[in-house]
Amino acid sequence: MSGGDLDVTNARIVLPESGVVAGTLVIRDGRVSAILQDGGTSGDVDVLDAQDRYVLPGLIDPHVHSGLLPPQSFT
C-alpha cells in the first residue's frame, strides 16, 4: 500500500452530474480513481467509514466569500 491509498466506505457521494450516490469512494495515489456503488472495499488499503455522511470529492472549501471585500494594498 502506497501513501494516499484510501477507501471511504458507507458514503453519500455528491456528484454534480448524477446527484447523490451511496457507495465507496476509492482513492489511489491521492486521487479519486473509482466509485463503488455496491459498497465494500477495493482491497488492502486504509478504510475510513463515512457513517452515511456526505462526501464531496474534489471540493476543498464549500463556504467562500470571494470578492466580498475590496482588495487591500499592502505597502
**For position 14, what pLDDT does the model report?**
92
The yes-or-no verdict on residue 46 having pLDDT over 80 is yes
pTM, 2 dp? 0.73
Residue 62 has pLDDT above 70, yes or no: no
pLDDT at 48 (0 to 100): 95
Angle at 7 between CA 17 and CA 46, to 5 degrees: 160
pLDDT at 60: 72
Read off the pLDDT of each residue in 57-61 and give the average, rounded to a whole number: 77
Q: Which residue has the higher pLDDT, 42 or 6?
A: 6
| Contact predicate 25/13, CB 8 Å | yes
